[in-house]
């Protein structure tokens, strides 16, 4: 991948996509195309204004679930390298309630981008999945070979099945058509431009915003609350709403004030353990893999007996014809470290400076009991994370206050 190679970042204004764009720009790449679906990507544009003016990156609005529109994009632009970060994502509640949306939209995006990357002869594609592809009661830490060995966690089953289909599609195109498609499965992510919508957000941004609002409420700082709601309304309630309506919506999302005391409700017991990766660390890993690692390099790690595959005439296609089973060629990306939801909540509480109470509601679902990745493969390939969760939480809260 040269500095002027034509690079497509699908989903460039999201948490992961914007982090990948930042990493590419930091690394000196000057021919980047970012796609977005939202009609209001201006918030992300702010960080890239200088690079847009220099012509290093341009943004294109497109619905990647639209097959015809996606083909036109590839036919006209013919990108050489593709980062497939576009996806419909959300937390436990959203995944469980909007099950059809999660499986349909993710399958459509993946099918279109992966297929047309092959048809229009892209040099390389990197597909981003999720570690929710692993079984609910997966042995820990989760190794790549544990895929499809047991049932999935019910609350995010549709999303997980879509991501499994995506990685199998990449693997299958490599084996049949000789493409160079890599699939990576990141652990739980957080970072700049995260989703802080309390209805659909993941655990770190959700807890951070709840405790920020709770701190404001505890300090009777209505200016702070209204400023936050003006930036990010909750179910249509913004800063101009009446105190009664604001108190109602905060209470609905577990931020409660009673007898001069403010508390924050957290779903579940707090016992489940999770692993968290700073989004810019993930972006660094993705660019590292795109620059340095090919599908055949991964085969050499997964199947050591094929270590000379890159230098011999026996292609992956020929191996399949000979009866060799090639599977589980995706790569976990994570820290290999874990923290309980309870400890995470208290870490965020301390970082935010909220002095009220935390209430863990055991009547709400916990999700998977434990979830930490085995990162042996990615470390063998030469990459390791840099940002700890305690450091990342501080960085994110500082950014959140500046953006609110």
Which tens digit of pLDDT belongs to each residue from 358-382? 999 999 988 778 889 999 999 999 9
Query: What pLDDT, on a 0 to 100 scale, did the predictor assign at position 303?
Result: 87
Query: What pLDDT, on a 0 to 100 scale, did the predictor assign at position 45?
Result: 66
Phi, psi (5° rounding) for residue 2? -85, 165
Predicted confidence pLDDT, tens digits, the chain (404 residues): 999 999 999 999 989 999 999 999 999 999 999 999 976 666 566 678 889 999 999 999 999 999 999 999 999 999 999 999 999 987 777 888 999 999 999 999 999 999 999 999 999 999 999 999 999 899 999 999 999 999 999 989 999 999 999 999 999 999 999 999 999 999 999 999 898 999 888 899 999 999 999 999 999 999 999 999 999 999 999 999 999 999 999 999 999 998 889 999 999 999 999 999 999 999 999 999 999 999 999 998 998 876 555 545 567 777 777 788 899 999 999 999 999 999 999 999 999 999 999 999 999 988 778 889 999 999 999 999 999 999 999 999 999 999 87
- Between CA 30 and CA 39, with CA 36 as vertex, the angle to 5 degrees is 130
| Radius of gyration, alpha carbons of the chain | 22
CATH domain 203-272+339-370+388-403 topology? UDP-galactose 4-epimerase; domain 1 (3.90.25)
Query: What pLDDT, on a 0 to 100 scale, did the predictor assign at position 92?
Result: 76
The whole-angstrom separation of Cα 34 and Cα 41 is 11
Residue entry with tokens 């500046």: 402
Nearest Cα neighbor of 56 from 79, 77, 76, 34 is 34
CB contact at 8 A, 16 and 185 = no
Query: What pLDDT, on a 0 to 100 scale, did the predictor assign at position 62?
Result: 96
Residues with catalytic annotation?
A: 159
Domain ranges across the chain: 7-192+275-333, 203-272+339-370+388-403
- H or E stretch including 16? helix 15-26
Question: Could you give the 3-state DSSP secondary structure of residue 64?
Answer: coil
For 7-192+275-333, which CATH superfamily applies?
Answer: NAD(P)-binding Rossmann-like Domain (3.40.50.720)
Query: What pLDDT, on a 0 to 100 scale, did the predictor assign at position 343?
Result: 98
DSSP state at residue 234: B
Query: What pLDDT, on a 0 to 100 scale, did the predictor assign at position 39?
Result: 65
Here the tokens at position 50 are 């200088």
């Amino acid at each position: 991948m040269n500095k002027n190679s034509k690079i497509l970042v699908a989903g460039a204004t999201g948490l992961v996509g914007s982090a990948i764009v930042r990493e590419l720009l930091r690394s000196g790449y000057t021919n980047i195309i970012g796609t977005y679906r939202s009609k209001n990507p201006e918030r992300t544009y702010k960080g890239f204004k200088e690079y847009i003016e220099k012509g290093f990156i341009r943004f294109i609005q497109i619905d990647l679930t639209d097959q015809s529109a996606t083909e036109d994009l590839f036919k006209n632009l013919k990108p050489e390298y593709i980062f497939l970060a576009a996806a419909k994502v959300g937390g436990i509640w959203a995944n469980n309630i909007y099950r059809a949306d999660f499986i349909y939209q993710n399958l459509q995006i993946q099918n279109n981008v992966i297929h047309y990357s092959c048809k229009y002869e892209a040099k390389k594609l990197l597909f981003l999945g999720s570690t929710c592809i692993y079984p609910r009661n997966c042995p820990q830490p989760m190794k790549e070979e544990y895929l499809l060995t047991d049932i999935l966690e019910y609350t995010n089953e549709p999303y997980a099945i879509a991501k499994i289909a995506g990685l199998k599609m990449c693997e299958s195109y490599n084996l049949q058509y000789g493409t160079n498609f890599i699939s990576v499965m990141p652990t739980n992510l957080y970072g700049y431009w995260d989703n802080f919508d309390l209805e659909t957000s993941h655990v770190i941004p959700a807890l951070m915003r709840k405790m920020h609002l709770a701190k404001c409420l505890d300090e009777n700082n209505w200016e702070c609350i209204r400023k936050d709601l003006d930036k990010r309304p909750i179910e249509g309630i913004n800063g101009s709403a009446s105190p009664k309506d604001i108190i109602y919506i905060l209470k609905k999302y577990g931020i409660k004030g009673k007898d001069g005391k403010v508390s924050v409700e957290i779903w579940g017991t707090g016992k489940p353990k999770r692993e968290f990766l700073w989004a810019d660390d993930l972006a660094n890993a993705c660019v590292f893999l795109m620059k340095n690692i090919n599908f055949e390099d991964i085969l050499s790690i997964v199947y050591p007996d094929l270590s000379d595959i890159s230098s011999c005439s026996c292609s992956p296609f020929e191996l399949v014809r000979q009866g060799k089973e090639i599977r589980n060629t995706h790569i976990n990306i994570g820290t290999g470290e874990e923290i309980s939801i309870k400890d995470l909540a208290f870490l965020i509480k301390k970082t935010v400076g909220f002095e009220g109470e935390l209430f863990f509601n055991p009547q709400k679902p916990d999700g998977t009991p434990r979830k930490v990745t085995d990162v042996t493969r990615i470390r063998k390939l030469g990459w390791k994370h840099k940002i700890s969760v305690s450091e990342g939480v501080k960085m994110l809260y500082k950014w959140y206050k500046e953006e609110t």
